[in-house]
Amino acid sequence: MHRIGLIALATLLAGCPLAMAQDNYPTGTVKFVLPSAPGSTTDILTRLTADALGRKWGKPTIVENIAGGSMNIGAGQAARATPDGSTLFIAPPAPITLAHLLSKNINYNPLDWVPITMLAKIANVLSVRNSLNISTVQELIAYGRANPGKLTFATQGPTSTAHLSAAQLEVVTGIKMLAVPYRGAQPALTDLLAGNVDMFFDTLATSVPLHRAGKLKILAVADLQRAKSAPDLPTFTEAGVPGFRSITWFALVAPPGTPAKLAEKINRDAVEILRSPEVTERLRGLSLEAGALSTADTAKFFADEIALWGKVIKEAGIEPQ
Q: How confident is the model at residue 56 (pLDDT cuts 50, 70, 90)?
A: very high
Mean predicted lDDT score pLDDT of the chain: 90
CA distance 178 to 169: 12
Distance (Å, rounded) from C-alpha 32 to C-alpha 46? 7
Length of the chain: 321
pTM given for the model: 0.84
45-55: per-residue pLDDT in tens?
Answer: 999 999 999 99
pLDDT of residue 259: 98
| Counts for the chain of helices (H) and strands (E), in that order | 11, 10
What is residue 164's predicted lDDT score, i.e. its pLDDT?
Answer: 94
Q: For the chain, which domains are there?
A: 28-122+248-314 (3.40.190.150), 123-221 (3.40.190.10)
For the ranges 121-125, 160-164, 200-204, 295-299, the maximum mean pLDDT occurs at 295-299
Whole-angstrom distance, CA of residue 124 vs CA of residue 245 = 8
* Per-residue confidence band for 14, with pLDDT thresholds at 50, 70 and 90: very low
Residue 2 scores a pLDDT above 60? no
Checking DSSP bridges between strand 30-34 and strand 87-91, what pairing results, if any? parallel
Residue 92 preceded by cis peptide, ω within 30: no
Q: Which residues contact 86 (CB under 8 A, 6 or more apart)?
A: 26, 28, 29, 30, 31
CA distance 266 to 258: 11
264 CB burial (10 A radius; 0-12, 13-18, 19+)? middle
Which amino acid, residue 58?
A: G
Q: What is the pLDDT of residue 1?
A: 45
pLDDT of residue 12: 44
Of 113-122, 142-151, 154-163, which gets the smallest average pLDDT? Answer: 154-163
pLDDT in tens, 92-114: 898 999 999 988 889 999 999 99
Q: What percent of the chain has pLDDT over 90?
A: 76
Q: What angle do CA 178, 179, 184 make, to 5 degrees?
A: 160
Q: What is the pLDDT at residue 22?
A: 62
Tens of pLDDT, residues 236-291: 999 999 999 999 999 999 999 999 999 999 999 999 999 999 999 999 888 899 99
Pairing mode of beta strands 289-290, 114-129: antiparallel
Residue 16 has pLDDT above 60, yes or no: no
**DSSP letter (8 states) at residue 143:** H
pLDDT reported for residue 319: 84
User: Could you tell me what percent of the chain has a pLDDT over 70?
Assistant: 93
